Structure 1
Amino acid sequence: MLKQDPGRRALLRAGAALAAGGAARPALAQRAPQEAGTLTLVLESEVVILDPYTTTAAITRTFGYHVWDTLFAMAENGEIRPQMVRSHERSPDGLLWTFTLRDGLLWHDGAPVTAADCVASLRRWMPRDPLGRMLQAVTASIEPRSAAVFTIALKEPFPLLLDVLGKPNAPVPFMLPARVLPADPGARVTEIVGSGPFAFRAAEWRAGDRMVLARNPLYVPREEPPDFLAGGKRAKVESLVLRVMPDDGTAASALSAGEVDYVQYLAFDQLQRLERARGVELMGLSGIHMFQGNFRLNHASGPFADPEVRKVLWHLVDQSSIMQAIGIPARFAKPGCNSFWMCDAPLETRAGAEPARYDVAAAREMLRRTSYRGEPVVMLEVSGSISQTAANVFAQALKEAGFTVDEQVMDWGTVLARRANKQGWSLFPVYSNGVDMVSPLNHFYIASTCADYPGWSCDARIPTLVERFAKAGTMEEKRRLADEIQVIAYELVPNLMWGQFSRPAGYRSRMKGLLRSSFPIFWEVSV
């Protein structure tokens, strides 16, 4: 949400260059979703960035879970289970871990998945992820021992090792072939070869229009039943067609008419109509599958580089008004949640949350006593999204308190490009899966404290407390540390929560076996 749309165009041009024969962009041939073995899907946005290690964008993670696989994965109950790994052993002192890959793992081009591939993938992923960096700091070596066995030797015990390897938070530690990983640490992966249940068809990718993922006939699923991101992943349809439909109304009409099979996010004002539509089902979610809305602040430049100015903002977020403006029905909303770690979640807390009290008059007086002198608050907004509505409500409160606000509207791809720069933006609204926000270890804006991560918020106390949280032996200790971290976070203001809610997905009743999850998951689906 920061700069200009040339950033997104550049990304699309780079992506299109990957497609075989990618010069022309012919019109998408009309495919009826009733065509045997094909699902036509409208996800939250277009997949623009394909390299899974270079972004925290949820759409890239969704793409990744279908194309690549992970060493371990999370089940619905939060348990981390083996995925590509057949067995693992830990030495009595906890310093040497040995992992053996399961039989039958092949890349999409037919080459075998090796321990050397996994080692190369981990080495590339670790510096790019907050938890990965934590693991890297205590790692003495990661080495392949045979074609199917590799070891991780630690400098000190790290109880969260399996949790880190199986974490669902982006960037996810997907396994990639060593040969496609660029030697340049700053370069992106451009050859998309995975070992997951679906394969990316580069020749059929039309940027701005569609992407095709084909069933991988070489994939050997685990024998266990599917369980969230763990267990057997059996691709039962021949292909997934990811259509680009930026307008919610167009997507909803296509779903109602049977032109698409699945829409990840439905506009709330369309729910009643869709509930009556023949052949359409809605999926409402709860608990960790709800979303948390946030305003991410830029601490590196602009008005919010001043911590006193940031603190004013706690008095300007009215969650109830934002939910009402978006049109979220009461049954899908949980307004008034001021816990960084989600409400109705294991670490829910109100520690330090006293400043989160809507009071424009108090904010106006606080702002008068700060260094603020009318500099524009540059707010990046995704056109037509519910986060844009949240931003509009917040912008009005900012203006009433005395801020000068510059609302800039663009698409999400442009936001991703602009937020990477430390200059030219002040905040952007976003909402994230609850799974990504329930702990200091995976909360985007807490786990990345004092790291090179868009927003650049830093309080040196937080990384130390997060490390202690990672090593905590009891839930009581984890809760105490989570409370302590939240108190500091309310002082630091890395983000502001604008609401917790569920956004239903819609799908055609011909789809059978669709897993109930805030992550769009299409293995096990048949038609």
Structure 2
Amino acid sequence: MKTIRRGVLASVAMLTAWMPPIWPAGGSSRAGEARAETITAVLEAEIVTLDPHYIGAYITRTFGYMVFDTLFAPDSEGNTKPQMVQSWTVSDDQLTWDFTLRDGLAFHDGAPVTGEDAVASLKRWSTRSALGGRLMKVAASLEATGAKSFRLQLKEPYGLVLDTLGTTSSPTPFIMPARIAATTPGSTQVSEIMGSGPFVYSRADHRPGDRMLLRRNAAYVPRPEPADFLAGGHVVKADALDIRVVPDGATAAAALQQGEIDYMQYAPFDLLPAMEKDRRLKVLNFAGAHMFTGHYRINTASPPFNDPAIRRVLLRLVNQEEVVAGLGLDSRYGQSCAAFFICGSPYESAAGTAPLKDPSIEAAAAALKATNYDGTPVVVMAASDLEAPRVASTILADRLARAGFKVDLQMTDWATLLARRTNRQGWSVYGVHALGLDLASPLTNSVINFNCTSAATAGFMCDERMVPLFDAFARAPTREAQREVAGQIQSIVYEQGLGIPFGQFAQPAAYRAVLSGVIPSAIPLFWNIEKK
């Protein structure tokens, strides 16, 4: 989850004393590379895990898009477009898919990318991805058919083949050499980071806890189309990307204002007004799937919320406008959204949303009196080190108490909260948020996509009606058919009170006005950018 940090601006004197020079002093050859073609960035967190298949951390996905490449990728309209793939064919019965890679693809060690590399990478990735696992369940075989080609043979038609191969859901299907992917199980991190993407990683340029330098891949052959989100040509116009580790958001903002860095992924909310007035800076807002959506996750295995009637009271209680206002956001950056698969996505729906409209303490209190609630305490966990979950959980605790619940608000750090939520006892509800790109589909929505499985750690939910609907969604032949199934799933979620949204909001990026060509993306992308 993404940390929203607040703070006060460090003074210029403190900033000057704290910030090391952009490039190390000394007579090494690298010192001479400190020129305008180097973009210096501060991301949401330090990049610690480099294996792009191993975990679903957003920061690892960001690293993956810089160093690796994908077979397909979405454009800004959500359409899946070919990336490493040049062409593909589908048999009349929709069971045989043949793919051919485009010319010029090579790994950073110079080895050409082959069909065997694509097959080995997809097989490894699918052991870690719920979406990839679904595809493999309907696959009869996946094998290379030539130096630059491979074939996917299905047991039955599957409507999400291209969407799966081009998903942004993390972990993402990045391609790595077969010699690495085929010999390293997904449960073990790879020891060699070898991609074919537009930037090159070298351990010699990585100082954990301080910085990571990614160099432009001079041998990279981009697609000819203009860049369009993750689709199109990934043309890198800078010589290097210098990623700095600056844990404090206020310190990073001060560094941005003083020109010590060029880009920060998350601009602190309370500093946005000052940044918007600074002509040296630009603030990049996001909409739709590039916004975050917050949800209250509910423990359905333990009283009192093991009773769906009591869970449904929350539908009448949660006031999204109050939470968004509590985050200090105006209408440009935050909004109410009743659509479980987020507003602005292809699967936005009003199905089952009537109880979420016009929330009030009085309506919730009346609904609670009609249930069998016996005064069992509602244990609300609040992540003290994450601003949005903390604010959302604190507001919920107050409204629960005013509606007649007995409430036990417990502050804890996020790591402890994650450990506690795996237990069926000891907690009732907590707030959390995730990126809309990952929540927009039933198959990647982390609130419900582990429904009725042993991995259902976000509340142990199980509604057997949703199980065949997930399969129906995956097999639906058109977007319209998928939207219909998504609406049915949403209706069940709200009917059973399995997840309650608390608002949709953006956390803008900020960058120096000397940068142009920045792609509007909640996943930081550093191709197409020029630095004056």
Structure 2 CA distance for aligned equivalents of residues 324 and 79 of structure 1: 33
Alignment CA distance shift 1:86-1:344 (3 Å): closer
For residues 22-45 of structure 1, give each alpha carbon's deviation from its aligned partner in whole angstroms, at most 9, with x where no partner exists.
xxxxx9852179733221212222
Q: Does 1:481 align with 2:490?
A: no
CA contact (8 A) 2:159 2:478 kept: no
Q: Give the superposition deviation at 1:417.
A: 6.5
Q: Give the superposition deviation at 1:464.
A: 1.1
Structure 2 CA distance for aligned equivalents of residues 183 and 241 of structure 1: 29
Alignment CA distance shift 1:236-1:259 (3 Å): same
1:204-223 matches, cutoff 5 A = 204-223=205-224
CA contact (8 A) 2:382 2:390 kept: no
Could you say which residue in structure 2 is the equivalent of 1:429?
431
What is the aligned-residue identity percentage? Answer: 42
1:363-402 matches, cutoff 5 A = 363=364, 366=368, 369-370=372-373, 373-374=376-377, 376-383=379-386, 385-400=387-402, 401-402=405-406
CA contact (8 A) 1:338 1:350 kept: yes
- Structure 2: gaps (5+ residues): 2-17, 24-32
1:279-298 matches, cutoff 5 A = 279-298=280-299
Could you say which residue in structure 2 is the equivalent of 1:448?
450
Could you say which residue in structure 1 is the equivalent of 2:41?
41
Q: Does 1:471 align with 2:462?
A: no
- Matched to 1:373, the amino acid is T
Structure 1 CA distance for aligned equivalents of residues 427 and 212 of structure 2: 31
Could you say which residue in structure 2 is the equivalent of 1:403?
407
Q: What TM-score does the superposition give when structure 2 sets the normalisation length?
A: 0.85
Structure 2 CA distance for aligned equivalents of residues 186 and 394 of structure 1: 38
Q: Give the superposition deviation at 1:523.
A: 0.8
CA contact (8 A) 2:383 2:417 kept: no
Structure 2 CA distance for aligned equivalents of residues 311 and 51 of structure 1: 41
CA contact (8 A) 1:458 1:492 kept: no
Q: Give the superposition deviation at 1:143.
A: 0.9
Structure 1 CA distance for aligned equivalents of residues 165 and 510 of structure 2: 32
- Matched to 1:500, the amino acid is Q
Alignment CA distance shift 1:425-1:78 (3 Å): same
Alignment CA distance shift 1:501-1:30 (3 Å): same
Structure of larger gyration radius: 2
RMSD value, Cα? 2.9
Q: Give the superposition deviation at 1:526.
A: 1.7
Q: What TM-score does the superposition give when structure 1 sets the normalisation length?
A: 0.85
- Structure 1: gaps (5+ residues): 2-26
Q: Does 1:232 align with 2:233?
A: yes
Q: Give the superposition deviation at 1:134.
A: 2.0
Q: Give the superposition deviation at 1:207.
A: 3.5
Q: Does 1:523 align with 2:523?
A: no
For residues 188-246 of structure 1, give each alpha carbon's deviation from its aligned partner in whole angstroms, at most 9, with x where no partner exists.
33432211111223234344433332222232211221111011111221222222333
Structure 2 CA distance for aligned equivalents of residues 152 and 503 of structure 1: 39
DSSP 3-state at the match of 1:169: coil
CA contact (8 A) 2:469 2:489 kept: yes
Alignment CA distance shift 1:68-1:303 (3 Å): farther
Structure 2 CA distance for aligned equivalents of residues 36 and 381 of structure 1: 40
Q: Give the superposition deviation at 1:51.
A: 2.7
CA contact (8 A) 1:106 1:112 kept: yes
Bigger shift: residues 42-51 or 497-506: 42-51
Alignment CA distance shift 1:418-1:280 (3 Å): same
Could you say which residue in structure 2 is the equivalent of 1:24?
none
Alignment CA distance shift 1:184-1:291 (3 Å): closer
Alignment CA distance shift 1:201-1:318 (3 Å): farther
